[in-house]
Amino acid sequence: MAGYNDKRTEDTEFEDKVIHINRCAKVVKGGRRFSFAAIVVVGNKKGQVGVGLGKATEVPEAIKKAGKRARKSLVSVPLAGTTIPHEVTGTFGASSVLMKPAPEGSGVIASSAVRAILEAAGVKNILTKSLKRDNPHNVVRATFEALNSLRSLSDIAKSRGKTVAEITSGNG
């Protein structure tokens, strides 16, 4: 039992947030059978974020499954202070999400699904726009793809064989 408690204290740094719950009905001889799908985002507000989808016959069970899957899909997001290092667009299916770095005090300007992911990642100032379709499943995947394609200034400098100072001075 001590191992169980140790694991829970490790996970307390991660915060869960439910993005969307979908109810699906299957019509059978005796009436309707409902099932639920939940999209949950998990993050530590320090640059780590994950998203998961869980399906079950009860809502709490679906949320629990989605949370477990989100913890398995954690990725690191490079941050530049309280915003992202550069402008990026993520696309999944018919949905696209445009993200731009914003100055201090701007806040998170985003739709509810994108806002949940960015806040869980620890981004405090950003401008975003959902382009094309607004299906929550695809918007979440597009946001996640955009965050995965972000590169920190040190990674860019290393790939070019230069220092960060050379790139920021405009000679890179």
Model confidence over 90-112: pLDDT tens digits? 999 999 999 999 999 999 999 99
Residue 57 placed within a domain: yes
Using the structure block, give the residue that is written with the tokens 């979908």.
22
pLDDT at 163: 83
pTM confidence score: 0.84
Residue at which a domain ends, from 75, 99, 132: 75
Structure letter (DSSP) for residue 83? B
In this structure, are 69 and 26 located in the same domain?
yes
Residue at which a domain ends, from 75, 108, 128: 75
Residue 166 placed within a domain: no
* Whole-number average pLDDT of the chain: 88
Residue 163 placed within a domain: no
In this structure, are 90 and 141 located in the same domain?
yes
Give Cβ neighbours of residue 37 (< 8 Å, ≥ 6 apart).
21, 22, 24, 53, 54, 55, 62
pLDDT at 166: 80
pLDDT at 11: 57
In this structure, are 137 and 94 located in the same domain?
yes
Total domains in the chain come to 2
Helix, strand or coil, per DSSP, at residue 172: coil
Whether 116 shows a pLDDT value over 90: the answer reads yes
- Token pair, residue 159, equals 């790939």
Residue at which a domain ends, from 75, 109, 128: 75
The pLDDT of 25-52, averaged and rounded, is 94
Q: 25-52: string of b/e by CB count within 10 Å (b at 16+)? A: eeeeeeeeeeebbbbbbbbbeeebbbbb
From CA 172, how far away is CA 157, in angstroms rounded?
9
In this structure, are 71 and 124 located in the same domain?
no
The pLDDT of 67-72, averaged and rounded, is 94
In this structure, are 153 and 112 located in the same domain?
yes
Tens digit of each residue's pLDDT (9 = 90 or more) over 117-144: 999 999 999 999 999 888 999 999 999 9
Domain that holds residue 54: 2-75
Residue 167 placed within a domain: no
Please, is 98 exposed, middle or buried when counting C-beta atoms within 10 Å of its C-beta (0-12, 13-18, 19+)? Answer: middle
From CA 62, how far away is CA 152, in angstroms rounded?
35
Using 50, 70 and 90 to split pLDDT, how confident is the model at 155? confident
pLDDT at 1: 42
